[in-house]
Amino acid sequence: MGALAGVGLALAGCASQQLQQTAQQIDLMEQELSAQPPEPPADGSVLGPTELLVSAESAGKDFMRARISRARAMLELDKVKSARLPRISAEARQIATYTGDDLGDVAGTSNIVLGVNWDISKALLRLDQPSVEVAGRLIPVQYQIAQRTATSNLLNTYNEYTTLDFRHKNAVLKEKGLACRAGDVEAEVANEEATQRELKALKAQVVAARREADAVSRLLASKRDELLGLAGLAEGGYRVAPERSVLSSLSGFGSMKSDDAEACFASSGKKRLEDLLVEASAAQLDLARQSRFTKLKTSIPSFMTQTGGLNLQFLVSYVLPLIDEGDALRMTQNARLTLMETILSARDNRRDFMNDFNALKLGIAAAESDLAAANAALVRAENQLQNADEAAHCGESVDVEKAKTAVAAAKFKIDMLKSRLLLLCAPLGEKTAGETGAAQLAGMRSGK
C-alpha cells in the first residue's frame, strides 16, 4: 500500500520584451481608469470639437476600449510566439509505502522529475511565421480603425448636440413669433377685429411653445453630459459650444486630395484592413497545408532519486498522419472556406464603402442646395423687415432670426458631412492617437 504526494512547477523562460511592454500599457490603463476625471477649469472655458477630441484621445472610454482590444491582441500574439519556446517542468514527489499492519511500518522515497516539452515544428520550421508577421501588421491597423470609430462616435454625438441646439433656438423663435402674433391679436381685440377666444387660443400656443423649448433645453443638457462622458470629462462645469467646425478638428488627418471614390477607397484604412485580412487567411491556409506532415515534438524527461542518481532520457517523436487523413483534410478545407469567406467579406466591404462615399457626396450636394435656399430666404426676410411697418416689425424680426438659424444649420451640416467623408477616406497614419493624445491634453489644460 502506498501514497504519492507531489508539487509541480512549469517554466518557459523570461517574459518577452513585447509582453513586458504590454503589461506596462495595461498598468497605465488601469491607473487612468481608476483616476478621477479632471476638475472643470475655474475660468469656465468653452469646449469645441477640437478640445473634446484631444481629451477623448487621452481619457475617452471608446478610445480606452480600443487600447484594451489592442493589448488583448498583443497578448494573444505573444502567446503564439512563446509556443515556439521549450517548456521546462519540475515536480517533487514523496512516495510513502506501508510495509506492514502497523502505521509505523512506512518506507519513504523522494524524487524530483524534470521535463522539457518542445514543439520543434514551431521552433525550427516556423511554419506559422507568415501568420505571425501578418498579425503583427494587422494589430496596429485594427487599433487605428477602432480609434477612427471612436472619433466618429464623438463627433456624431457633437452633431446631435448641435442639432438639439438648433432645435432649441427654433423653439424659442417659435415662442417669440407666437408672442408677436398674440400682441397683434390683442390690438385687434381692442378694435373689435378679433375675439377673446382667438386671443386665448393663441396664448395657449405660446405656453405650449415655451414648454417645448424648456423640454429641448433639458435634453440638450443631457446630451452635453453624454458628450463630456465620451471625452473623459466630468459632467457639469464644462460649457460646450455648438456649431463649431468639426472639419477643423480633423486637421491631423490631412485633406482629401481626390473626389474619386476608387482613389478614396484605395488609400483608406478599410482597404488596408481588407488586404491584411485576406493575407492572414491565405497564410492560415498555407499553414494548414504544411502542418499535415510536420507534427514533430521532443521531450526530455529526467528522474533524480535519492538512491538511483540521475536518469536522463531523450525522446523525439515525429507523427506522420498516413492512416487518418481526415484530420488533415478537414483542417485544410476549413482554412479554404475561411479564405473564401474573407474574400467575399472584402468584396462586400468595398461595395459598402462605395455606397457610403456616394451617399455622403449626395448629402453634401443636397445640403449645399439647402444652404442656397436658406440664403435666399434670409435675403427676402431682411428685405421684408426693412419695408415692414411698426405693427409688423416684431414678426418680421423673428422671421429674420429663423432664416439666420436655417443658414447656420445648413453650413454646419455641410461641415459635418465633409468631416465624415474625410474620416472615410483618410489613410492610416504612422502614429496613433494614443501616442500623442496625452501630450496634447496636457498642453490644452495648461493653456499652452
Residue type, position 23, single letter: A
Question: pLDDT (tens digit, 9 = 90+) per residue, 391-440?
Answer: 778 888 999 999 999 999 999 999 999 999 999 888 887 544 444 444 44
Question: Mean pLDDT of successive 10-residue segments in the chain (448 residues)?
Answer: 45 68 87 78 79 90 90 84 70 66 65 64 62 79 88 95 96 92 81 82 92 95 92 84 92 71 81 76 69 50 44 44 55 70 75 90 95 95 87 87 95 95 82 44 41
- The SS3 assignment for 100 reads coil
Residue 81's CB is within 10 A of a number of other CB atoms, namely 17
Cα Rg for the chain, rounded, in angstroms? 35
Kindly list the distances between the CA atom of residue 258 and the CA atoms of 60, 263, 264, in Å, as whole numbers in the listed order.
32, 7, 7
**Using an 8 Å Cβ cutoff, are 33 and 68 in contact?**
no
State pLDDT tens for residues 295-322: 544 444 444 444 444 444 444 444 444 4
Cβ-count burial 163-198 (b if 16+ within 10 Å, e if not): bbbbbbbbbbbbbbbbbbbbebbeeeeeeeebeeee
Q: What is the pLDDT of residue 307?
A: 47
H or E segment and range at residue 106: strand 106-119
Rounded CA-CA distance 434/111 in Å is 52
Length of the chain equals: 448
- Side-chain-side CA neighbours of 127 within 13 Å: the count stands at 17
Residue 319 confidence (pLDDT): 44
Backbone angles phi, psi at 405, to 5 degrees: -65, -40
> CA-to-CA distance for 397 and 408, rounded, in angstroms?
17
The answer as to CATH 3.40.50.300 being correct for domain 2-443 is no
- Nearest to residue 159, comparing CAs of 418, 421, 412, 361? 412
Domain limits, the chain: 2-443
Name every residue whose Cβ is closer than 8 Å to that of residue 275 and which is 6 or more positions away in sequence. none
pLDDT at position 9: 44
- Of 93, 431, 417, 425, nearest in space to 260 by CA: 425
d(CA 204, CA 138): 62
pLDDT attached to residue 370: 95
DSSP code per residue over 244-311: --SGGGGGGG-------HHHHHHHSHHHHHHHHHHHHHHHHHHHHHHGGG-EEEEE--EEEETTTEEE
